[in-house]
Amino acid sequence: MKKALPQAASLSGIGRYDDAGSIATPSAVGPAAPPVPVPLKSRIDPDRDCWVDLLRKTRGALNRDNIRRCIALLMPKLSRCGPWTDTDDDLCELWAELRRIENNAIARARKKRQRATQNALQAQTDDGDSKGVAEHRLSAGKIVQLFASRIPDRPYCTDNFSTGVRIRPRTTAMCSREIQPNAPWSRQCLVLDLDHDRPFPDGCPPPQLIVHNPTNGHRHGLIVWETPILIGPSASRKGQKFYEDTAAAIQLLYAGDPNYRGTLCHNPLSAAWRLEILHPDTYQLSDFREVLKMAKEQGANNAYRSAGAEAYAVLGRNCATWEACRYFGYALGPRPDLYNRIREQIDKYNVQHNTPPLGPRECHNIAKSITAYVMSGQQRGQSMTDEDWQTWVAHTHRPKVQARRGRLGGLAKGAANAHKRTMAWELAEQGLSARAIAAQLDVSAMSVSRWLRG
């Protein structure tokens, strides 16, 4: 039978929890002065109670804070070089108990997140409008559940980009239309922005999840990895380079938007989108070796080999529209309503020949360019001969003068666009494409792409 310890064996400075859950100090238990621990020499006994046992005797006293206080009290008495003492045993017991409590806390938090995930999915199931969609996704397979379980604890999310992006708990974010799929330094999936309905290349593994936008038909393709891929300063350089090459090859062959950063994606768990599951299992990087080989065989002049693939596509429609409409402006000549006439012609051509049509900003820039060129004939003057015009141009456009104009213009333009550059980076971190950023900042998509490339 263990020996009963005197009252003085209670722990000094260590509180306990009363019935209401609040911490009560030893002095609140009785009028006696704070007790002093029994010296170790009076407790050298095989059947003695260790400090963990003493904590267990007081309700609610065995917690992480009290264990750390005990360790702090015993550390000065630790035998560094002498024989093993009861202090060493007590410290080992305390450290083991601290690890057990922390592991249990981690396990409880994990189970809590899993229950919250199931509750969020079940909440969507209980919604009358999205009941069928949510029920299908709950029973769709493990790939959707795996994606949901790997979402960060507090991801970025939003229901409308015009109202901003916010950080919310996982349970709240899982009900949003847009969500952050990856943690900052790991990639559980690769997200592709597919603004087309073309089939995937033959011989290439399809994305497991396709999230369709029912409004415009655009899609987000999600390739979920078997093991999240570590990136950042702590990652292997070779492994990270292999992942980047594989991701670039997939984006190239699947014709994904190269300006899409993947910070936020269409939430596969939201009933706002239509979910399609093409493959039930996860992928490894080795499954895309053939994709890497096919990407290397692409021609060097392939537009999608560059970071500005979408800029190449926009540039093609831009040039074609300018080429087709500029002669109409030349025939009109300088006149007050020249811009409006050219803009009408460009809008007609854009609707009939461009698929998809250019945005209003691109049409405005084309009309402005043609108008400026045609109106420059007025500035030349009717009485100036060709020889006089050439002499004047040679005098006012000397290399030194042009270099000075270029420097001043570059400085002025850079200062004027400094705020827009900062805004472009912030919007890109939120997952917006270059075209969306350009429309919001009222600049061209090529300028945004150039800013993001640094």
Answer for the pair 295, 252: CB distance below 8 angstroms, yes or no.
yes
* One domain, residues 262 and 203: yes
Establish if 31 belongs to a structural domain: yes
Place of tokens 């095989």: 46
Long-range contacts of 20-26, Cβ-Cβ distance < 8 Å, separation of 24 or more: 21/60
Answer for the pair 151, 179: CB distance below 8 angstroms, yes or no.
yes
Establish if 392 belongs to a structural domain: no
* One domain, residues 298 and 327: no
Give the end of a domain, one of 349, 382, 415: 382
Token readout for 215 is 């409004």
- Name, in order, each residue with C-beta under 8 angstroms of 14's C-beta and a sequence gap of 6 or more: 26, 55, 58, 61, 66, 69, 70
The reported pLDDT for the residue numbered 121 is: 59
β-bridge pairing 178-179 and 156-158: antiparallel
CB atoms under 10 Å from CB of 183, counted, come to: 16
Residue type, 19: D
Taking the C-alpha atoms of residue 101 and residue 71, their distance in angstroms, rounded to an integer, is 15
Token readout for 244 is 């980047």
- Name, in order, each residue with C-beta under 8 angstroms of 412's C-beta and a sequence gap of 6 or more: none
Instruction: Look at residue 215 and give its three-state secondary structure.
Output: coil
- Name, in order, each residue with C-beta under 8 angstroms of 369's C-beta and a sequence gap of 6 or more: 322
> H helices of 76-187, where?
86-126, 131-138, 142-149, 170-173
The reported pLDDT for the residue numbered 23 is: 37
User: Count of domains in the chain?
Assistant: 3
* One domain, residues 327 and 284: no
* One domain, residues 289 and 188: yes
Residue type, 26: P
Establish if 189 belongs to a structural domain: yes
DSSP-assigned letter for residue 283:
B
Place of tokens 């919007």: 427
Tell me the residue range of the domain where 325 lies: 308-382
β-sheet bridge partners, residue 17:
23
Answer for the pair 95, 102: CB distance below 8 angstroms, yes or no.
no
Q: Residue 20 belongs to what H/E stretch? A: none
Token readout for 197 is 């309905």
Q: Residue 16 belongs to what H/E stretch? A: strand 16-17
Give the end of a domain, one of 270, 305, 340: 305
The reported pLDDT for the residue numbered 368 is: 92
Taking the C-alpha atoms of residue 92 and residue 422, their distance in angstroms, rounded to an integer, is 53
Q: Residue 408 belongs to what H/E stretch? A: helix 399-416
Q: How far is CA 105 from CA 60, 98, 112, 171, in A?
A: 15, 11, 10, 19
CATH number of the CATH domain containing 354: 1.10.340
DSSP-assigned letter for residue 8:
G
Answer for the pair 102, 68: CB distance below 8 angstroms, yes or no.
no
* One domain, residues 211 and 312: no
Q: What is the dihedral of CA 269, 275, 280, 286, to 10 degrees?
A: -90
* One domain, residues 297 and 312: no
The reported pLDDT for the residue numbered 197 is: 80
The reported pLDDT for the residue numbered 307 is: 43
Place of tokens 């472009």: 424
Establish if 256 belongs to a structural domain: yes
DSSP-assigned letter for residue 285:
G
Token readout for 241 is 């380079």
Q: What is the pLDDT along the chain (454 residues), one digit of tens a residue?
A: 443 333 333 444 444 333 333 333 333 333 433 333 444 334 444 455 677 877 887 788 888 888 888 888 888 877 666 677 777 778 888 888 888 888 888 888 888 877 776 666 565 545 444 444 545 565 557 888 889 889 999 999 998 887 888 999 988 888 889 999 999 889 999 999 988 788 888 888 999 999 998 888 889 999 999 999 998 888 888 889 999 989 988 988 888 887 788 889 999 988 889 888 888 899 999 999 888 888 877 644 444 444 444 444 445 678 878 888 887 887 787 888 999 999 999 998 888 877 678 888 889 999 999 998 888 865 444 445 566 567 667 777 778 778 887 877 777 666 667 778 888 888 888 888 888 888 888 888 888 888 887 6
* One domain, residues 300 and 158: yes
Establish if 438 belongs to a structural domain: no
* One domain, residues 301 and 345: no
* One domain, residues 179 and 297: yes
Q: How far is CA 38 from CA 2, 26, 51, 103, in A?
A: 16, 16, 11, 31
Establish if 423 belongs to a structural domain: no
Establish if 447 belongs to a structural domain: no
β-sheet bridge partners, residue 223:
190
Taking the C-alpha atoms of residue 194 and residue 359, their distance in angstroms, rounded to an integer, is 19
Provide DSSP, 121-142.
Answer: HHHHHHSTTTHHHHHHHHTS-H
Give the end of a domain, one of 251, 272, 305: 305
Establish if 255 belongs to a structural domain: yes
The reported pLDDT for the residue numbered 223 is: 94
* One domain, residues 139 and 199: yes
* One domain, residues 153 and 49: no
Which pTM was predicted?
A: 0.43
Phi, psi of 360 (to 5 degrees): -60, -35
Answer for the pair 283, 226: CB distance below 8 angstroms, yes or no.
yes
* One domain, residues 184 and 198: yes
